[in-house]
Amino acid sequence: MTVDAAVEAPFSHTTGTAAKVVLRFISALNARDLSGMLQLVSDDCHHVDLSHEAEGHCKEDVARFYADVVASMPEKVQ
């Protein structure tokens, strides 16, 4: 199932609210849509990226982290 199909699919254990948020976040990341990603992040979030050993404690930290990630992504990431 594609990300777009999963986001539009009826509710199930794999397409519930949390799954839809994650899929939308990934879709925005793949589209390099930082604004779209940040719409899904709360102001008081706690973000941990284990692959980069990075941790953030607010939306601004997440914005800085993913701005760097997006800037370093090859053009054709999916």
Structural domain of 49: 3-72
78 occurs within a structural domain = no
What CATH number did the domain enclosing 68 receive?
Answer: 3.10.450.50
Please check whether residue 27 is in contact with residue 3, taking contact to mean a CB–CB distance below 8 angstroms. yes
pTM for the full predicted model: 0.70
16 occurs within a structural domain = yes
20 occurs within a structural domain = yes
32 occurs within a structural domain = yes
Question: Which spans in 1-76 are helix H?
Answer: 3-8, 17-30, 34-38, 59-72
Give the tokens for residue 68: 């760097």
77 occurs within a structural domain = no
Per-residue pLDDT reduced to its tens digit, 23-73: 899 999 989 999 999 999 999 999 999 988 889 999 999 999 999 999 998
